[in-house]
Structure 1
Amino acid sequence: MLQNGPSSSASGTRTPAVAMLRLLGGFQISQALYVVARAGVADHLADGPRPVPEAAEAAGVRTDLLRRLVRSLATEQVFDFDADRDTVGLGPLGHTLRSDSGDSLRDVALMWMDTHYRPFAGLWSTLHDGVPAAERELGKPFFDWIAEEPDRVAGFSAAMSDLMTTLRQDALDSLDLSGVRHLVDIGGADGTALADLARRHEHLHGTVFDLPHVVEGADPVLHKAGVADRIGTQGGSFFESVPDGADAYLACFILHDWNDEQCATILDRIHRAADPGARLYLVETVLGEGTAPEVATLLDLTMMGMLDGRERVREDWRTLLSGAGFRLDRVVETTGPMCVIEATRTDD
């Protein structure tokens, strides 16, 4: 018998065919995660394992089918399933689907399946004509489609808040804000990031800047954090202008959404608003760098399907910045997947 690799039964390792089968079945796993996230199964297990029938009743789903779902997701460490006792509890990854977890990705699971799943069926066409699959599927650019409905905006903001809390926190912790008096958070959404920074830096004043329909959600966040007296909001498009007069600008996970020409426009608007010597902090992935480089490649695939942006290597960032009048000072690797790209506005 011909054999292309080690036997999984003999050596305990997967054959190439079995490993590939798991990859090919990834779309089924993502849908299973969406279903249990939408049903709130992880929330119903917050206090510990429960009999499967009890968990199913709490979630409002069929017992026999939930049993099969949790059995499948137990192999992915999402649930602990005890077949003898017919009980289910949270596995090592299960808490990330709880709505109240500090590193929750539940809203990401909900949004990605509602917004990303169908477009990726069109990735074949994107590979040939370069049109993002989402734009073809939705009939317009993704962000334009999101902005049409308040529920979409709310869902997207919630998902980005989850994603950014999970991915960017180590980068925010690494920001050197010594000497920064006023910080503008460009594309700051609901103000979560700037509120967190303001709580830790009592001298810091700032402005949350985003599209008007997005930034209106920042006031409650800033008041709840107790920083509304130091952090304000301003609505607008960073393709047109950004607030001036600040000595530092922050863009968290913004530029990767856009192509090089669009990034050049955004950076030009920052350059026009900033005084010589002003600091610029970009929280982004840097391909091939950081503690979790697989996150950057996954996000690069996401960009291919959903938007016209991409993840970039260090030299790409240097080129973008220098072309817009910024000097790349350093790239700071953090304990998470994101890096902090520090730059300085040079003289005109």
Structure 2
Amino acid sequence: MSDATQPTQATEIAAAVRQVLGDSLGYLYPAALRVALRTDIAGHLTDGPKTAAQLAELTGVHAPSLHRVLRFLATRGIFREDTDSAFHLTPAAHVLRTDVPYSVRSTALLLTDEMYWKSTGRLEDTVRDGSTAFNDIFGAPLFDYLDQNEESARTFHTGIADLSAIEQGGIAASYDFPATGKIIDVGGGPGGFLRTVLANNPGLHGVLYEQDAVLQQHQLDDEAIAGRWETAEGNFFDVAPTGGDIYVLKRVLHDWSDDDSLRILQAVRKAMSDQARLLVVDAVVPPGNDPHPAKLYDVAMMTIFDGKERTEPEFKELLAAAGLRLVRVIPTPGTVSILEAVTA
């Protein structure tokens, strides 16, 4: 029996070969992107186009090599080279600037950092034994490693916080929060999302539940929400604060395995009243073969954490194991959805 998917025409074979070999060298793109990030090429182009020689003089790098890297990045829509060999900003390059509110520079620096880079290089080991190689490479699980390495911790937390700052407005606007009550953000980082929710809903009171080191960097000192927030220190594997009307787990569960996620959900479930609701904010992996950011992030999660992005049925099963029932999945303008759950 013939295989209808097997390429037979010379053009089909050539296209398939180009795809596979191009994908095999795909790691060169984040490497080149990191060069542009570390030398702040986007920042140097804000006042107009420049040649690689001019940029090299400003950044102290080798001009011919920089030209080759920028020429390559231009094929991906980051920068544009004109007929005079000068490079211009593009929409994608603008988000690498530090002086714009939608900058993802710090997040891109995180995702191209050796913490991700080296672990990704050991993906085969992860697939063979089912656990991240990060612990073996860096000598400890990620969050323990960050506790011991200040620079890496700064890179990680800044990248995550800046990503959250971009997306949290759209997420907060996607859910119809009650007019009054208490919202408890479990593992809410520095509190950017909680601050946004409280600013949009003046009848709500908020609690940021985190570890002490994170709470020391909180972002809740805002006149718009003065007197309507408090912090609580603790470990979300063990317990969560009681008395909440809305509990939030934003980009938390995807960091953890099913077993660890279940522990977190069980702690929250014990704190919830029968009238309380839980909002799990995470990417939801769709069915089918179409590209989707959740499928990309899912592979990234298993290289650095023992975490995962989940499908809706997987979320439903995990919530049920913790005594919770999935009510609905609410899309947001970004890559994450809001999964609303109640006590079962």
Output the TM-score relative to the length of structure 1.
0.89
Inter-partner Cα distance in structure 2 for 1:180 and 1:40: 45
Query: How far does residue 6 in structure 1 lie from its aligned partner after superposition?
Result: 6.2
In the aligned structure 1, how far is the partner of 2:15 from the partner of 2:254?
36
Aligned to 2:93: 94
Structure 2: which amino acid aligns with 1:251?
L
Q: For residues 241-275 of structure 1, give each alpha carbon's deviation from its aligned partner in whole angstroms, at most 9, with x where no partner exists.
A: 12221111111111011111111110111111121
- The whole-number CA distance in structure 2 between the counterparts of 1:175 and 1:331 is 11
Equivalence for 2:233: 235
Deviation per CA, 1:99-135, whole angstroms, max 9, x where unpaired? 2333322112222223100111211111111221212
Q: Say whether 1:70 aligns with 2:74.
A: no
% identical equivalent positions? 31
> Alpha-carbon deviation of 1:168?
5.1
Deviations, residues 194-224 of structure 1 (Å, cap 9, x unaligned)? 1111221112210112221122111xx2225
- Residue 47 of structure 2: aligned partner: 47
CA distance in 1, matches of 2:190, 2:10: 51
Tell me the equivalent position of 1:208. 208
- 31-40 vs 160-169, which deviates more? 160-169
- In structure 2, the partner of 1:196 is 196
Shift of 1:146: 1.3
List aligned pairs for 1:314-333, cutoff 5 A: 314-333=312-331
User: 1:342 and 2:326 equivalent?
Assistant: no
Shift of residue 165, structure 1, vs aligned partner: 3.5
Provide the secondary structure at the position in 2 that maps to 1:185: strand
Distance 1:264 1:318 in 2: 12
Q: Residue 180 of structure 1 contacts residue 248 of structure 1 at CA under 8 Å; is this kept in 2?
A: no
CA distance in 1, matches of 2:291, 2:182: 32
Provide Cα deviations, 1:42-99, integer angstroms capped at 9, x if missing partner.
11222332333333333332322221111010000000111x3221111231112112
The aligned counterpart of 1:268 is 266
CA contact under 8 A between 2:168 and 2:192: conserved in structure 1? no
Gap regions ≥5 residues in structure 1: none
Deviation at 1:289, TM superposition (A): 6.6
Runs of 5+ unmatched residues, structure 2: 1-6
Aligned-partner Cα distance in 2 for 1:293–1:340: 20
Matches within 5 A, 1:119-268: 119-167=119-167, 169-218=169-218, 221-224=219-222, 226-268=224-266
CA distance, structure 2, for counterparts of residue 210 and residue 156 of structure 1: 16
**Bigger mean CA deviation after superposition, 248-257 or 205-214:** 205-214
State the distance in 1 between where 2:60 and 2:222 align. Answer: 34
What SS does structure 1 have at the residue aligned with 2:237? coil
Distance in 1, matches of 2:261 and 2:20, equals 37
* Aligned-partner residue type, residue 161 of structure 1: A
8 Å contact kept, 2:181–2:245 = yes
Supply the distance in 2 between the matched residues of 1:255 and 1:175 (Cα, whole angstroms): 19
Structure 2 Cα separation of the partners of residues 41 and 198 of structure 1 = 37
Aligned residue-pair number: 336
Q: Distance in 2 between matches of 1:298 and 1:63?
A: 33
Tell me the equivalent position of 2:305: 307
Cα deviation, residue 14, structure 1? 7.7
- 8 A contact 2:284–2:336 mirrored in 1: yes
From the superposition, tell whether residues 136 and 229 of structure 1 become closer, same or farther in structure 2 (CA, over 3 Å).
same
In the TM superposition, what are the counterparts of 1:4-19 in structure 2 within 5 Å? 4=8, 7=11, 15-19=15-19
Q: Which residue of 2 aligns with 1:295?
A: 293
CA deviation vs aligned residue, 1:315-341 (integer Å, no higher than 9, x gap): 111111122122211011233221110
Aligned with 1:128: secondary structure?
Answer: helix
Match of 2:20 in 1: 20
